[in-house]
Amino acid sequence: MVTRKEDFSKWYLQTIQQADLMDYSPVRGCIIFKPNGYEIWEHIQEYFNKRLKEEGIRNAYFPMLIPESFFTREKDHIEGFSPELPWVTEAAGEVLEERLALRPTSETMIGDAFSNWINSYRDLPYEINQWANVFRWEKRTLPFLRTSEFLWQEGHTAHADEEDARHRTMRMLEIYAELLEELLAVPVFKGEKTPSERFAGAVQTFSVEAMMQDGKAVQAGTSHYMGTKFAEAFNIRYLNKDNEHVYAHTTSWGVSTRLIGSMIMTHSDDQGLVLPPAIAPQQVVFIPVGPKKKLDQVLEKVKDLDAQLKAAGVRTYIDDSDNSAGYKFNEWELRGAAIRIEVGPRDIENNQVIMKARDEDEKNAITMDGLAEQVHQALALMQNRLLEKARQRNQANMYTHIDTLDELIDHIENKKAANETPGWVLVGWDGSEESEAKIKELTGFTTRNLPFENYFVGENALVKKDKCLVSGKPAKETVWIARAY
C-alpha cells in the first residue's frame, strides 16, 4: 500500500476502498455508498437532526427537478451554477416544454414555495431543512470530496429583518464548527469567504475550513446571508405590524458527504482508516482467539461481554469468522474499528481482556469487571486524542511570517524540495480581485476565508497583516490562503 508521504491522493483512494466504504458507479463521477460508508453519514444525520430540533427547525423534502425558468429569476444564481447543471429535456418519448434541472441546490424551488406559504409577520421566522441528493457535473472528481452527485443537508430560512436572518446565519456556522470538532474531531477555521468565493446570489458567505494532513484545505460547511435578493426574485413578501408588504430576509446553509472525506484525510494513517469513536460504525470489535477446541467456550464469554457493551450503548461487532487472528487484526485496522478487544482462554481464567485503540500501538490488559465503563472512557480518550493531534498538526503547518509574493513562492519551493506541505499562509490582502487572482495564478493557492479569530504566534504576538502580499498596498483584510480540494 502506498504511503501518505509517497502519494497522498493515491493513499486516500486505497484507504477508502480497502475500508469497504464505497464503490464506483457506472456513471462517471458518481459513487456507491456501501453500508459502512453510509452509516458514517447516518451518524452525521443523527447528530445534526438533534441540533436542528434544539433550534426548532424541522425537516421537509422538495422535488429534485427544478424548472429552468426558476433559475432565470436570480441572475447571479444561474450564472454561478449554469456550467454544472445537468438537464432533463425529454420524458416518455416526448420533448418537454421546459427543461428541468437536476437539483444543484434548492434556493429557487424553496423560494417559490416560501412565496406561497409566507403572508404575515406571524409566519416568521420560517425555518426548514432537507436531506437530499444534489447534482453538480464535476470534471475532476474524488470520492466523498467532489462527485457529480452527492448527499447533503440544506437549510433554508426566512426572517422578518436582517438582524434575525444574520443571527441564524452565524448560529448555523457555529453548529457546523461544533459538528466537525465534537463528532468528527476535525478542527476548523471559521470566517467569511471573499466575494469571488461567495455563494452565487448571496450577500455574504461564511465558512468552516479544515486542513488535511497534506496541508490542503477543504471547505467543510457554508452558511449564507441572502439579504432580500431571493425574496425579491421570488416575491417572498409579508404583511408587517405596520400593515405594509415588505420583503423577507433569507438564509441558506449546508454540509455534505465531503465531511466523510475530510475526516478520513484528517485522521487516517498508513495502516488504513482511522475513525473518531463518536462516528465509527464499529466502536468495538471482539476477536475470539485460542485453540479451536476452546473457541466455543471463548465465544460464549465474548457474547456475554458484547451484550454488556451493547446495553451500554456501544456499537459492537463479534468477528467469529474462520480467518486467522492476524488476518482479523489487520482487517479491522484497515476498516477503522475504534477499539479491538481480544479474548482467549487464558484471559477468561484471569478475568481480563486485551484491548487496543486504533490510534495507539500498545495493547492493554484490562479487567472484565466494569468493562462498559472502561470502554466508554477509552473511546472518549481516543476522541480527544484525535482532535488534539489534528490541532497540533494544524498549528505546525500554519505560516504567518510571509509578507510578499516572492516570499510565498520561495516558501512553496523550499517545502517542495523538502517533500513537505506548504500548509496554510496568513497574508494581507488589499481587497482587490486582481491581487486574489494573481496569488492563484502564480502559486495555486486560493483564499480560504477571512478569519474571525485572532491567530497567534507562540503565546502573545497578535498576527494582523497591514500590507497586501501582492500589491504592497495597505491591507484591507487578513486572509488564509492554501491549496484546496
Helix (H, G, I), strand (E, B) or coil at 62: coil
CB of 83 within 8 A of CB of 215? no
Query: Which residue reads 472512557 in cell numbers?
Result: 377
CA atoms within 13 A on the CB side of 326: 0
CA distance 34 to 28: 17
317-321: long-range pairs with CB below 8 Å, 24+: 317/282, 317/284, 317/285, 317/286, 318/285, 318/286, 318/288, 319/285, 319/286, 319/287, 319/288, 320/288
Query: What type of residue is 436?
Result: E
Q: What b-and-e string marks burial along 109-136, b requiring 16 or more CB atoms within 10 Å of the CB? A: bbbbbbbeebeeeeebbbbbbbebebbb
Q: Please name the residue that has the C-alpha cell 456475554.
A: 304
Beta strands in 200-306 (DSSP E): 204-211, 217-227, 237-239, 245-247, 249-256, 284-288
What does the pLDDT profile of the chain (485 residues) look like in tens digits? 899 999 999 999 999 999 999 999 999 999 999 999 999 999 999 999 999 999 999 999 999 999 999 988 866 666 766 778 899 999 999 999 999 999 999 999 999 999 999 999 999 999 999 999 999 988 889 999 999 999 999 999 999 999 999 999 999 999 999 999 999 999 999 999 999 999 988 999 999 999 999 999 999 999 999 999 999 999 999 999 999 999 999 999 999 999 999 999 999 999 999 999 999 999 999 999 999 999 999 999 999 999 999 999 999 999 999 999 999 999 999 999 999 999 999 999 999 999 999 999 999 999 999 999 999 999 999 999 999 999 999 999 999 999 999 999 999 999 999 999 999 999 999 999 999 999 999 999 999 999 987 655 444 455 789 999 999 999 999 999 999 99
Give the pLDDT score at 11: 98
- Are 140 and 169 in contact by the 8 Å Cβ rule? The answer is no
Query: What does the pLDDT read at residue 80?
Result: 62
